[in-house]
């Protein structure tokens, strides 16, 4: 009891010290449970009202909230819990456009941080106006406008994925009828399509919003038939040569460096993390001394710099073999690691750190499509 009243006295008489202690507890929980805000949410703040700590904010990690409250109780800190767990109810969402643009904030003028593709199932965390905060299969958290996502029933959500088909061309269209004249929408490689009927060389597809379209069957691959073979990585990557660089791009309409490598892996049935600084944590290390004989086609090469003594990874490319690698930089292009080669990329080779092999070495951040 004495300790309890002492806590109240400290809060009211020396708020600065107590605020620092409260901030330390919150930050310690955040570091343990949500060190990367791109894939986990722990947005918690507090105020002091009537000699009590009022905790506000939201998180998608119930265990993190539970530990935070337990820590406050153990320290005899009086508090009011106004923290929300999201989602507050289970919502089922499927991406409804060929490319869903993902923003840092719920605004079209906000930074494009990533993209997601038609047919991708996403976790809906909350809604603000006409925007949804979602989490994609690679756990990336961002905002999408209402036009890019369709909320569906649990039953439809489950049935939509009974047999997934993968659009295997960089660009294409679906059409209203078998005549293949009136366009329904564009399609990009990686679009996940729900095939409901096949007729000769055509397939009838249903969109999440129940629009109907027809596509050429030859442009579809059953996801279960995708093969993780190194030579497929080379063949698929060269389909995108010349496609322009786009910050935040992960579709064949435009790539950033990690969006490009992510898409190549997706074409071979693997879901890898979104950003280069995340991809570098997967697979196994195969080179950090420029011994190019250690590399195999499909290995990822990482580049960066040091800041305040900390290594920063800011670029990724994919090894093709024979001293060549492919990357999205200016556009999708092939470069060389050898200085006497006309394709030598001095800028990036001066920043080379290491290469890693994800093929055949699936770690915690990598999953099958």
Q: Are strands 79-85 and 52-59 parallel, antiparallel or unpaired?
A: parallel
**Who contacts 286 (Cβ-Cβ below 8 Å, separation ≥6)?**
294, 295, 296, 299, 355, 356, 357
Q: Band of the pLDDT at 369, cuts 50, 70, 90?
A: confident
State the SS3 of the chain.
CHHHHHHHHHHHHCHHHHHHHHHHHHHHHHHHHCCCCCCCCEEEEEEEECCEEEEEEEECCHHHHHHHHHHHHHCCCCEEEEEEECCCCCCEEEECCCEEEEECCCCCCCCEEEEEECCCEEEEEEEECCEEEEECCCCCEEEEEHHHEEEECHHHHHHHCCCEEEECCCEEEEECCCCCCCEEEEEECCCEEEEEEEECCEEEEECCCCCEEEEEHHHEEEHHHCCCCHHHHHHHHHHHCCCEECCCCEECCEECHHHHHHHHHHHCCEECCCCHHHHCCCCEEEECCCCHHHCCCCCEEEEEEEECCEEEEEEEEEEEECCEEEEEECEEEEEECCCCCCCECHHHHCCEEEEEECCCCCCCCCEEC
Predicted confidence at residue 17, as pLDDT, reads 36
Tokens 């073999």, residue located? 321
Predicted confidence at residue 13, as pLDDT, reads 41
**pLDDT score of 8 more than 60:** no
Quote the tokens at residue 296: 């195999």
**pLDDT score of 11 more than 80:** no
% of the chain beyond a pLDDT of 70: 95
Predicted confidence at residue 278, as pLDDT, reads 97
CA angle 293, 296, 301 (to 5 degrees): 90
Average pLDDT for residues 147-154, to the nearest whole number?
A: 94
**pLDDT score of 10 more than 50:** no
Average pLDDT for residues 174-196, to the nearest whole number?
A: 96
Q: Band of the pLDDT at 67, cuts 50, 70, 90?
A: very high
Contact status, residue 190 vs residue 167, Cβ threshold 8 Å: yes
Predicted confidence at residue 158, as pLDDT, reads 84
Per-residue pLDDT tens over the stretch 218-258: 999 998 888 888 899 999 999 999 999 999 999 999 999 99
Average pLDDT for residues 81-88, to the nearest whole number?
A: 96
Per-residue pLDDT tens over the stretch 39-57: 999 999 999 887 788 999 9
Predicted confidence at residue 4, as pLDDT, reads 40
Per-residue pLDDT tens over the stretch 267-298: 999 999 999 999 999 999 999 999 999 999 99
Predicted confidence at residue 19, as pLDDT, reads 83
CA–CA distance, 176 with 173 (Å, rounded to integer):
10
Q: Band of the pLDDT at 160, cuts 50, 70, 90?
A: confident
**pLDDT score of 162 more than 80:** no
Predicted confidence at residue 339, as pLDDT, reads 97
Predicted confidence at residue 16, as pLDDT, reads 42
CA angle 288, 294, 299 (to 5 degrees): 80
Average predicted confidence (pLDDT) for the chain: 92
**pLDDT score of 1 more than 70:** no
**Comparing 223 with 299, which gets the higher pLDDT?**
299
CA terminus-to-terminus distance, the chain? 56
Predicted confidence at residue 163, as pLDDT, reads 76
Per-residue pLDDT tens over the stretch 316-357: 999 999 999 999 999 999 999 999 999 999 999 999 999 999
Q: Band of the pLDDT at 315, cuts 50, 70, 90?
A: very high
């Amino acid at each position: 009891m004495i300790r309890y009243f002492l806590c109240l006295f400290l809060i009211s008489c020396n708020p600065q010290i107590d605020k620092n202690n409260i901030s330390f507890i919150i930050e310690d929980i955040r570091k343990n449970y949500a060190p990367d805000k791109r894939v986990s949410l722990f947005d918690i703040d507090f105020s002091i009202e009537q000699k009590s700590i009022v905790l506000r904010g939201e998180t998608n990690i119930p265990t993190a909230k539970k530990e935070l409250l337990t820590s406050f109780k153990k320290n005899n800190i009086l508090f009011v819990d106004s923290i929300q767990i999201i989602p507050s109810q289970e919502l089922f969402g499927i991406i409804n456009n060929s490319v869903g643009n993902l923003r840092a904030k719920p605004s079209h003028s906000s930074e494009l941080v990533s993209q997601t593709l038609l047919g991708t199932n996403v976790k809906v965390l909350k809604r603000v106006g006409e925007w949804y905060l979602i989490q994609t299969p690679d756990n990336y958290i961002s905002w999408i406008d209402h036009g890019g996502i369709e909320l569906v029933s649990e039953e439809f959500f489950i049935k939509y994925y009974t047999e997934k088909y993968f659009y295997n061309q960089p660009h294409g269209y679906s059409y209203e009828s078998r005549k293949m004249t009136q366009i329904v929408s564009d399609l990009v490689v990686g679009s996940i399509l729900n095939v409901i009927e096949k007729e000769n060389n055509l397939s009838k597809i249903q969109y999440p919003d129940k629009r109907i379209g027809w596509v050429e069957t030859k442009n579809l691959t059953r996801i279960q038939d995708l093969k993780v073979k190194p030579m497929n990585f080379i063949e698929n990557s060269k389909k995108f040569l010349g496609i322009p660089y786009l910050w935040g791009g992960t579709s064949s309409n435009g790539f950033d460096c990690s969006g490009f490598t992510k898409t190549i892996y997706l074409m071979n049935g693997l879901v890898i993390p979104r950003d280069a600084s995340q991809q570098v944590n997967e697979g196994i290390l195969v080179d950090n001394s420029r011994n190019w004989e250690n590399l195999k086609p499909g290995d990822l090469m990482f580049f960066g710099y040091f800041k305040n003594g900390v290594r920063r990874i800011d670029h990724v490319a994919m090894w093709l073999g024979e001293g060549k690698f492919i990357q999205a930089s200016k556009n999708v292009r092939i470069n060389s690691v050898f200085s006497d080669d006309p394709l030598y990329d001095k800028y990036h080779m001066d920043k080379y750190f290491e290469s890693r092999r994800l093929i055949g070495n699936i770690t915690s951040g990598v999953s099958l499509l």
